[in-house]
Amino acid sequence: MSCPKMHCRISHAAWIVLLGLSAYAVALANADPLGLRLLLSSDPVPDHVLAHVQQHGSSSWQATQADSSSSQAADQRRQLHQAIPIRANALNVRPGLQASAARPASWATASITPSVRGFGIPKTFLGISHEWTNVEELNQPGSYLQLIQDLTAYGGGPLVVRIGGGSTDQQTAPAPASTWNELRQLQYKTGVMYIFGLNFKKGDAALAKSQMDTIFKEIPYYSIMSFELGNEPNFYEGIYGKSSKEYIACCFVNDWERFVKALSCKNPAQFSTCTPGQFAGPVWGHVNMFPRTMEWFLKVNYPYMNLVTVHWYKARREDQNTVQSLLAEGPVRTEMANLRKLVEISRRYGKDLRVAEMNTISNSGREGLSDSLAAALWTLDGALEVANTGAVGINLHWGDGLALYAALLRQKTGAAYVKPTYYAYLLLQMALGSGAQLVKLDLQALPGAKLKVWPLLDTKSGAMRIVLINKHATAAAGMSVRLPDDGYADGKLLRLLGKRGLEDEWGVSLGNMTYNLGGQVFGDPAGEIIAREVAAAAAGPAAGANAGAVVTEAGSSSSGAAAAAAGKPGVKYTVIMPAGSAALLVIPKQPK
C-alpha cells in the first residue's frame, strides 16, 4: 500500500488503509470508485500491532502483513489490514525535522467535553462554486473528474455544486445543449446536487423563466437544490440610476418579491397559485450583512425560498494582503459573530443558511497567497468557523477554473494541477466523515500561540475527530488533548504540512503524500499512532480557559458538564504541531 520511488494513480485505497479501513472496503473502492462512499474507521489499534510498531517500526509491520496475509484466510486478512501502516515517531514531528527532546516554547491544553454538544454538520456541508463560464470542465475526463469524485470518498456528500457568480447576471439566454450534457454526466457519475444562478440584475423575468424551464428539462429534478436570483445585489450600481446603497434601501426587496412571484406563480396576485420554496437569496456579497436587512428581506420573501445564501471572502484583492493578515483571528471573530446572527434570523423563518460563495481573496485571489499553504489552513479553519455558527454548508469558489484560489486548475490534456487548498478539502472531509457534531472545548494557550482546535464527535461510532491547526509562521507548538473519561483508545494522526512554510505552493502533503500533475501522488502513506496517557483527575476549566475556539450549544453553559467531569480520571494525547501545519487526530472508543 505504497508508491515508493514511482508515480502512482490516485488511489483512495492508500488513505483507506492508513486510516484503518478493511481490505474488503479497499477492494470495493477499487471495483466501484464512482458511487462508493467509504467510511473512516473508528476501530482502535490492536495492542499487538501497537507493540510491533513501537518495537520494530511500521515498515517491519507492513512486511509482516505482506508475508502473512497470503497464507491466511480472507477473514483474517481483513482483520490484519485494519491496522494502520504508520511510521512510529515518539516526538510526533514531521519527517525531515530534527528531533529534539525539548518541549516547544508554546504549549497548550485542549480539554474536550463530548457530552456538551453543539451544531451537527450535514453530510452535504462541503460544496464548490463555479462560474457559468467553462463550467463544463467539472466533467473533464481523467484526473480532474476523479479528484472531484474523491471529495466524497470519506462518507460525506453528495457534493453541492453552485453554478453562478459574476457570470450569473451576464447570461442572456439559457446555456447551450453541450453544457447540459456535461452537467448531466457529472451528476450521473458523482451524485452532485446543484444550485443554479439565474439572471436577476437585467430585470427580465422572462429570461430567468426560460433559464429555469431549461434546467428542469435538462437536469434531473432531484439533483436541483435551489435557484439563486442574481449575484451580490449589494454591489449593483446604476439600477434605476441609483447607487448600490440607494438601490438596496429603496427597491431590492420589493424587486426580488416581484421577480420571484413571476417565476413561481400562475397568478402572482394569488399565493395559492404559487409553487413555494424554490429559491435561494439574497446572495449577499459578504457575511457582514446588517441583520435588520436580512430580517426585512426574509419577512417579505421567505415563502418562496428554501435556502438563505451569503458570501464570505477574507479580504479584497485590491487591499494589501499578507499571510499574517489572511490568518489573523480578530476579523474572523467579528465576521462569525455577525454570521451567527444571520443564521438565527434565517432559522426563525424556517430556512437554513449556506455560505454559497467563499474563498480567501475576492476577484480571483492573490498570487503567492490564495495558492499557498496559508490558504489551505485558512480554508480548513474557515470551514469549521462557518459550521460553528450553525450554517449548513459552504461552497468554495473556483471562478472560471483558472482563478488563483481554485483548488484544481484544468489542463487541456485532462490532467489537473492540485493546489494546496485541495488538501484542506480532503482533510475536512476526513474529519466530517459520514456524520459529525461539534462538541465543547476549553482551550488554554498563551497569547499569540495562534492555535485552533476543532473537536468533532463521530455520531455513528462515538469516536472523536479533532482538527488541530498551528497558524504560526515560525513557532512549533505542543498540544495536550484531554478527554474526561478513559473510554478512548490510542489515537491516529494525519498531518497536513508544507516544506517551505506558509507560502509553500508545491511542497504540500497530506499523510506524507503529495499530488503531482495529473492526480498522481508521491510518497508512502504515513500517519502516527498517538498513545493515550492516563490523565490526572479533572478539576474543571481554569479561569480564562475559553481563549480560543469554543464550541457550545446556543444558550448552554459548560459549567455543569465540567462539574460532572471533575474528579474523574481521563486520558490525554500529546501532539507536537510544527509551524504552519494542520493535523487530524482520530481517537476511537475503547472496545467493550
- Supply the CATH number for residue 575's domain: 2.60.40.1180
- Kindly indicate the confidence band of residue 303, based on its pLDDT and cuts at 50, 70 and 90: very high
Q: Is residue 457 domain-shared with residue 379, that is, in the same domain?
A: no
Which stretch of DSSP H or E encloses residue 181? helix 177-190
pLDDT at 148 over 50: yes
- Cell 418562496: give the residue: 304
**What pLDDT score does 318 carry?**
62
The helix/strand/coil state of 63 is: helix
Q: Is 135 within the bounds of a domain?
A: yes
From CA 164, how far away is CA 259, in angstroms rounded?
Answer: 18
From CA 80, how far away is CA 216, in angstroms rounded?
Answer: 49
Q: Domain end: 411, 432, 453, which one? A: 432
The helix/strand/coil state of 587 is: strand
pTM beyond cutoff 0.85:
no
Mean pLDDT over 78-101 rounds to 33
Name which of 6-20, 382-396, 505-519 the model is least confident about: 6-20
What are residue 289's DSSP bridge partners?
none
Task: Considering only residues 489 and 592, tell me which one the structure prediction assigns the higher pLDDT.
Answer: 489
From CA 219, how far away is CA 302, in angstroms rounded?
Answer: 25
User: For residue 6, with 0-12 CB atoms within 10 Å meaning exposed, 13-18 middle and 19 or more buried, which class applies?
Assistant: exposed
Q: Is 486 within the bounds of a domain?
A: yes
Q: Is 144 within the bounds of a domain?
A: yes
Q: Are strands 106-121 and 477-483 parallel, antiparallel or unpaired?
A: parallel
**What pLDDT score does 537 carry?**
57
Residue 91's alpha-carbon distances to 85, 101, 575, in angstroms, are 18, 8, 8
Residues 326/378, Cβ–Cβ less than 8 Å: yes
User: For residue 328, with 0-12 CB atoms within 10 Å meaning exposed, 13-18 middle and 19 or more buried, which class applies?
Assistant: middle
Q: What is the mean pLDDT of the chain?
A: 80
From CA 519, how far away is CA 532, in angstroms rounded?
Answer: 36
- Cell 480560543: give the residue: 548
Bond preceding residue 122 cis, omega within 30 of 0: no
Domain at 380, CATH number:
3.20.20.80
Cβ neighbours of residue 262 closer than 8 Å, sequence gap 6 or more: 205, 209, 268
pLDDT per residue as tens digits for the range 497-522: 999 899 988 889 999 888 877 777 77
Percent with pLDDT over 70 in the chain: 76
**Cα 172 from chain centroid (whole Å):** 34
From CA 453, how far away is CA 549, in angstroms rounded?
Answer: 6
Which stretch of DSSP H or E encloses residue 483? strand 477-483
Q: Is residue 339 domain-shared with residue 473, that is, in the same domain?
A: no
pLDDT at 358 over 70: yes
Q: Are strands 533-535 and 491-497 parallel, antiparallel or unpaired?
A: unpaired
pLDDT per residue as tens digits for the range 330-346: 999 999 999 999 999 99
Mean pLDDT over 169-181 rounds to 97
User: For residue 439, with 0-12 CB atoms within 10 Å meaning exposed, 13-18 middle and 19 or more buried, which class applies?
Assistant: buried
Sheet holding 514-516, edge to edge: 3-9, 520-523, 514-516
Q: Is 511 within the bounds of a domain?
A: no
DSSP 363-388: TT--TTTTTSHHHHHHHHHHHHHHHT
Q: Is residue 417 domain-shared with residue 451, that is, in the same domain?
A: no
- Give ∠ CA 377-382-387 in degrees, rounded to 5: 135
**What pLDDT score does 484 carry?**
94
Packing angle of the helix pair 205-218, 177-190 (nearest 10 deg): 50
pLDDT at 69 over 50: no
Q: Is 71 left (phi over 0), alpha (psi -120 to 50) or beta?
A: alpha
Print the domain residue range for 539: 106-118+436-490+531-587
From CA 394, how far away is CA 370, in angstroms rounded?
Answer: 17
- Give ∠ CA 272-277-281 in degrees, rounded to 5: 125
From CA 42, how far away is CA 529, in angstroms rounded?
Answer: 13
The letter for the amino acid at 313 is Y
Q: Is residue 215 domain-shared with residue 248, that is, in the same domain?
A: yes
Q: Is residue 239 domain-shared with residue 344, that is, in the same domain?
A: yes
Q: Is residue 409 domain-shared with residue 370, that is, in the same domain?
A: yes
Q: Is residue 404 domain-shared with residue 460, that is, in the same domain?
A: no
Q: Is residue 249 domain-shared with residue 342, that is, in the same domain?
A: yes
Residues 284/233, Cβ–Cβ less than 8 Å: yes
From CA 466, how far away is CA 375, in angstroms rounded?
Answer: 20
